[in-house]
Homo-oligomer: A and B are copies of this chain.
Amino acid sequence: MTMESVDNYQLFGISDIPDIEPGTDLAEVIVSAFEKYGGLKNQDVIVVASKIVSKAENMYCSTSGVSASSEAIELARITGKPEKVCQIVIDESQSYRTNGKALIAVQKQGFELSSAGVDRLSDELVILLPRDPDKSAERISLGILEQAGVQVAVVISDSHGRADRAGAGAVALGIYGISPLRITSTTQANGKVKYAEETLCDLLAAGASVILGQRGRGIPVVCVRGLSFQFDPTASVKSILHYAPKDSNVSQ
């Protein structure tokens, strides 16, 4: 993508998103919430917290029907997490590693995340990641186009920690309309051209997360305005994942 003209942009949070129920049309909720902000604009990038996408897609999972394997019981002993939650993390993962406290898993779709993105809502209830976040992003964008007549890019963001430091940052799980990578080139002193790839979708997810925040800040949607980019309906996070399963282009 070309993005020469990006030297400023702004972000604002949409604070009056109602509670999201399974089956909620997120495009409708977003279009409606933006009305009091003067509406959406073409070329806006809408960053949506994965949590509300999971809720709308009914990704709740009760621990009551889960029975913990010996592997899950051992993982619970190491991490201090409930055995049934550990079983769900194992079921959601391609592989995992733990250093005793953190449990880092490569989730089935290829995302490396804390606890494979399994989020504990209570002792009996967890919520899983959207099944196909690129598809979720596409659905929201196309819904907004249909309902409001504007073409926006959508980024589904989630939080994840780094091994070297405390706290959580944010990454993109799904994207629609804006390329996940930005490629820049420079000519070195010796004349060789060097290319650098930046994970633009993650930079946007992180910048928006200054507003989104984690749990309980009540702002699950952020508008990024002022970026100049070429709208790309084929953009996906899946396309840049090293551990994506081979059949991952099969849609839901």
Chain A residues at the B interface, C-beta cutoff of 8 Å: 6-13, 15, 106, 110-112, 121-123, 125, 159, 161-171, 180-182, 184-186, 188-190, 194, 196-200, 202-211, 213-217, 219, 227, 237, 240-243
B243 and A211 contact, CB distance less than 8 A: no
Identical chains in the assembly: 2
A243-B196 in contact (CB<8A): no
List, in ascending order, chain B residues with CB within 8 A of A15's CB. 7
Report whether B182 and A112 are in contact in the complex, using a CB–CB cutoff of 8 Å. Answer: no
Question: In the bound complex, do residue B181 and residue A196 qualify as a contact, i.e. CB atoms below 8 Å apart?
Answer: no
Q: B196 contacts A203, CB within 8 Å? A: no
* CA of A211 to CA of B196, assembled, Å: 15
Q: Which label, helix, strand, loop or mixed, suits the secondary structure of the A interface? A: mixed
Chain B residues within an 8 Å CB radius of A111: 164
Could you tell me if A6 and B122 are in contact, using CB atoms closer than 8 angstroms?
no
CB atoms of A163 and B242 under 8 A apart? yes
**Which 3 pairs across A and B sit closest by C-beta, in order of nearness?**
A207-B207, A206-B206, A186-B216
